[in-house]
Amino acid sequence: MTDTLAQDDPERSTISQRRDGDLLVLDGSLLVWTLPQLPPKGAPRISVAGVDKLDTAGAWYLAEAQRAGTRLEGLRPNHAQLIETVSASIPEPDPEPPAAPLWQQILTRTGIRTTQALGYFRELAEYLGRYLAAGMRAIRHPSQFRLTSLVYHCQESGLRAVPIVFVMSFLIGVVLAFQGAAQLSQFGAEVFVVDLIGIAVLRELGILLTAIVVAGRTASALTASIGSMKMREEIDAMRTFGMDPDLVLTLPRVLALVIMLPILGLIADVAGLLGGAIMSWITLGISPSMFLTRLTDTHVSHVIVGLSKAPFFALIIGIIGVNGGMRVGKDAESLGQMTSKSVVNAIFAVIIADALFSVFFSVVGL
C-alpha cells in the first residue's frame, strides 16, 4: 500500500524542489533522510505528483502543511491514505485554559508569596538554631573555636565600618540640629533642640542607621564570601575533611557582628551628638557646655533602649547573610541574585525589628 524506507539507502534518497509562483513542486523521495532539505514551512500549494516514495516522516510534513492551509496537488491514493493515517495520529494541541477571575489570581499570588515567606522564615530559624548549636559546641570544646577568624571578621565588619558610620551619624546630627532649630525657633524653644537630638540619636536613629549601613555592607559580604566558597565546592570539601561549616564559617562571622554592632552603635551615638552640638553652637549659639548640661537631663533609658537592640539587629543581619550564601547555586548569576536579596532582606528585617522593638518598649514603659 505504501512505500517505506526501512530498506533504502539514505545516500541514494534525493528530493528536488522548484517553485512556480506560489506552487512548490516536489520530485523524488520524500523521506526522513530528505526531509531536512525542505523549507520548514510549505508554500500555499505543493505539487507531490512527482513524489515516488513517501514514509511517515514525509507524510507528517505534508499533514502539517495541510493543517497550515497548504493545498496538496497530484496526491497519489496510497500517499493520501498514509497522510490521512498520520494526520489522525497527530494529537490535537491542548486548548488554552480559561483565564481565572482577577480575585482568584490575586488570591493565588498571595498564597504563593505567603508560602515562600513562611519557607524563608523556616530556613532562617534553622540557621539560627545551627548558629546557637555551634556556639554551645564551641563552649563545650573551646579548642575547636577559631579565635583568629573571629578577630579577622571583627576587623572586617566592625573596625573598617567605623569611618562610614561616624560620618553618617555626624551628618544626621547636623541635619537634626539644623531642622530642629528651624522649627523650634518659631516658638522660642530653641533649647529643646538638645532634647530632640539626644532622644532621636540615642534611642532610634543612631543604632538603626548603623544597622542599615552594616546590613548593606556586611550582609552582602557574608553572602558573597560563603556563596563563592559554595560555588567552588569548598564547603563540601570541609565536610569531607570532618570540619563543621557552622563552626568554621557561621559562628565567627555572626559572633563578630554581635560583638561589633553595639560598639558601632555607641560610636554612632557619639558622632550624632557631636554633629548636633556643633550645629547647635553655630545656628543657635548653644555652647558645648550648655549642650552637655542640657543633655545630662536626658534619661539614661534612651541609651539602654538604643544599644539593647544592637545584638538582635546583628543576629538578624548575620543569619540572613549566611543563609543567602548557603542558597547560592553553581553559577555566578545566582551569586549576584542572592547577594542583592540578602541586602534587601536584611535592611527590611532590621526596619521591621526596630518597629517591633518600639512597640515593645512603649508597652513596657521604656
Confidence category of residue 6, pLDDT binned at 50, 70, 90: very low
pLDDT mean over 133-146: 86
Of 32 and 341, the structure prediction assigns the larger pLDDT to: 341
pLDDT for 196 equals 84
Per-residue model confidence as pLDDT tens digits over 21-44: 777 777 777 777 776 666 666 667
The rounded distance, in Å, linking the Cα atoms of 56 and 224 is 55
Per-residue model confidence as pLDDT tens digits over 183-226: 777 777 777 888 888 888 888 888 999 999 999 888 888 888 88
pLDDT for 350 equals 92
| Rg of the chain over all Cα atoms, to the nearest angstrom | 36
User: Grid coordinates standing for 205?
Assistant: 536613629
pTM listed for this prediction: 0.69
Per-residue model confidence as pLDDT tens digits over 84-114: 888 777 777 777 777 778 888 888 899 999 9
> Is the pLDDT confidence value at 167 over 90?
yes
The burial of 366, by beta-carbon neighbours within 10 Å (0-12 exposed, 13-18 middle, 19 or more buried), is given as middle
Element (H, E) at 45: strand 45-54
Q: Identify the residue whose cell numbers are 498520520.
A: 86
Per-residue model confidence as pLDDT tens digits over 306-317: 888 999 999 999
pLDDT for 52 equals 78
Which sequence spans correspond to the domains of the chain? Answer: 10-89, 114-364
Domain spanning 10-89 has what CATH number? 3.30.750
pLDDT for 41 equals 60
